[in-house]
Amino acid sequence: MKDELKKKDEQKLDEMQQEINEASAEAEAEEAEGQEDAEADEAPETEASDEAQQLEKLTADLKEKEERVLRLQADFENFRRRTAKEKEELSAVVTQGILKDMLPLLDNFERAMAAEAKDGEAFQKGVEMIFTQFGEVLKKNGLEKIETEGQKFDPNFHQAVMRVQNEELEDDDIAQELQKGYMVKGRVIRPSMVQVVAN
């Protein structure tokens, strides 16, 4: 949804910029035409009168075009400000949603800390429950684990920190995962740190 909004905003910005450029080009062309007419050789009085009227008309057109360009630039600037504000608001809503999902975890941590220190088994179960709940919250918000088991090394998803020999595996197979990697909605936020086979 965020990407679609961004794409629409960029498209609207491009359209407005193009319209400004076209209006500026028209205004410059008319101004050049007006100057050419003004610089033309002197003609009889009737032609001079026609030229004066034409110059007046061109000047009025030019002024109108300049005002149009200024209005378009103002619209463009307002659109940019409004878009930036909407993005900030959207970001705040997303952040609030994630933090709201994390509140039950905070509650459970507080309960675990308040539990009797003597009951180690109950404490461990509580921590396991919190870990499971934490994983569910992250998954709900788009977090995905990058798979490494039985996979070939892919630099887009894995970071090789060590090369090892292993006769049972082929070259570029992942021998061991040293640190888990994660993606959010298809975008890697941390690659998996792995050992890669090099026989």
* Full pLDDT tens readout for the chain, 199 residues: 666 767 777 787 788 788 888 877 877 777 776 666 555 544 456 777 888 888 899 999 999 999 999 999 999 999 999 999 999 998 888 888 888 888 888 888 887 777 666 667 777 888 888 899 998 998 888 899 999 988 899 999 999 999 998 888 888 899 999 999 999 988 999 999 999 998 7
For residues 112 and 123, is the Cβ–Cβ distance under 8 A?
Answer: yes
Cα dihedral 79/84/85/86 (nearest 10): 90
| 94 and 19 housed in the same domain | yes
Q: Which domain holds residue 164?
A: 144-197
Is 40 among the domain residues? yes
97 and 154 part of one domain: no
Residue with tokens 């298809």: 186
> Is 115 a domain residue?
no
Residue 155 lies in a domain: yes
pLDDT at position 117: 62
Q: Can you tell me the distance from the alpha carbon of 96 to that of 86, in angstroms, rounded to the nearest whole number?
A: 15
Output the domain CATH number for residue 173.
Answer: 2.30.22.10
Strands (E), the chain: 143-145, 158-164, 174-179, 182-184, 187-190, 192-197
| Greatest alpha-carbon span in the chain | 113
Q: Is 124 domain-assigned?
A: no
* Structural domain contains residue 134: no
Q: How many domains does the chain have?
A: 2
**Look-up of token digits 């609030």:** 96
**pLDDT, position 190:** 94
Are residues 11 and 74 both part of a single domain? yes
Per-residue pLDDT at 37? 58
Report the C-alpha gap between 15 and 32 in whole angstroms.
Answer: 26
What does the pLDDT read at residue 42?
46
- Answer yes or no: are the C-beta atoms of 79 and 13 closer than 8 Å: yes
In a domain, 38, yes or no: yes
Answer yes or no: is 130 within a domain: no
149 plus 100 within the same structural domain: no
Give the pLDDT of residue 178. Answer: 93
| Residues 97, 149 within the same domain | no
Whether 21 maps to a domain, the answer reads yes
| Model pTM above 0.85 | no
For position 40, what pLDDT does the model report?
Answer: 52
